[in-house]
Amino acid sequence: MAQIIDGKLISQQIKDELKEKVAELKANGKEICLAVIQVGNDPASTVYVGNKKKACEYIGIKSLAYEIPEETTEEELLGIIDKLNKDDSVHGILVQLPVPKHINEEKIINAISPSKDVDGFHPASVGALSIGQKGFVSCTPAGVIQLLKRSNIEISGKECVVIGRSNIVGKPMSMLLLRENGTVTICHSRTKDLKEVCKRADILVVAIGKPRMIDASYVKEGATVIDVGIHRDENNKLCGDVDYASVEPVAGAITPVPGGVGPMTIAMLMNNCVEAGLN
């Protein structure tokens, strides 16, 4: 029986720790503020933004909502970001992605001041991570590290295999595991013998975006398996990139979907906001 890594519980612990910190800061006259910008009303984005607002409320972070129309121009959006960059009472700025097609996403990410880049997507934040300097780290991979640490799973010296090389999950995940002294291999769609590489892993992090692709034949007995994927299956049930029923009996530890990595992303966003406020 694998140890079930409980992301719901761990994310709640993190949020409660942050709530205490924020109360202390408030008592000393400092109010942390996150500005969340949503362009248009994509239903999935509305759900994500709503969850972020709820988490801010729970922790005691002030949230400023900019719900602006789909037709907003790139220039107008850049204007809002510029104003928020210059506003000392705002500590974090988040633009909910994706933005409408007429807006250049890269330009928007680059416009956010690295000191307020709580998503950790700015090239300066990514660069800082890769050379071991201080900077904000992308929330989902930062959450995975917390799951491992708080479940007492050693990373140092371990064979870590990450499947996926996206800018927001796979790449920063690999850098973080390396920072924790893991021996890291990155796999992607062109990797040959994926199964053989995965079978070497003591810690296997799966971020492929393919429902239930990784079954027990990819997993070494006793390995820790972290499933970043989120999908709805043919019965509208949530599932991950890992075939949980097949992998759980061979894994040493595993994250479920839902209730594994998912809740950690917002908890780490809140953590980044508090850090932004302390800078």
- Please say if 158 is a catalytic residue: no
Task: Decide if 205 contacts 161 (C-beta within 8 A).
Answer: yes
**Token pair of 278 as six digits:** 């302390």
Q: Which of 6, 21, 38, 52 is catalytic?
A: 52
Query: Mask 192-211, x = binds ligand NAD (CB under 6 A)?
Result: --x------------xxxx-
Residues between 150 and 189 with contacts to ligand NAD, criterion CB under 6 A: 163-166, 168-170, 187-189
Q: Which of 119, 227, 241, 243 is catalytic?
A: 119
Residues between 213 and 242 with contacts to ligand NAD, criterion CB under 6 A: 228-230, 241
Residues between 92 and 151 with contacts to ligand NAD, criterion CB under 6 A: 140
- Please say if 13 is a catalytic residue: no
Query: Treating both helix axes as pointing N-terminal to C-terminal, what angle do 43-59 and 7-27 enclose, rounded to 10 degrees?
Result: 50
Q: Which of 6, 21, 96, 220 is catalytic?
A: 96
Task: Decide if 118 contacts 272 (C-beta within 8 A).
Answer: yes
Task: Report, in Å, the least distance between residue 185 CB and ligand NAD.
Answer: 12
CA neighbours closer than 13 Å in the CB half-sphere of residue 82: 7
Tell me the pairing of strands 231-232 and 238-239. Answer: antiparallel
Residues between 242 and 261 with contacts to ligand NAD, criterion CB under 6 A: 261
Start-end of H helices in 164-250: 170-179, 194-198, 244-247
Picking from 119, 136, 145, the residue whose alpha carbon sits closest to that of residue 255 is 145
- Please say if 16 is a catalytic residue: no
Q: How many residues bind ligand NAD (CB under 6 A)?
A: 24
CB of 111 or CB of 197, closer to ligand NAD:
197
CB of 160 or CB of 228, closer to ligand NAD:
228
CB of 146 or CB of 265, closer to ligand NAD:
265
Start-end of H helices in 165-278: 170-179, 194-198, 244-247, 262-278
Residue nearest to ligand NAD (CB): 166
Residues 170 and 31: their CA atoms lie apart, in Å, by 33
Close Cβ partners of 218 (under 8 Å, ≥ 6 residues apart): 194, 195, 198, 199, 204, 247
Task: Report, in Å, the least distance between residue 271 CB and ligand NAD.
Answer: 14
Active site residues: 52, 96, 119
Binding site for ligand NAD (CB under 6 A): 140, 163-166, 168-170, 187-189, 191, 194, 207-210, 228-230, 241, 261-262, 265
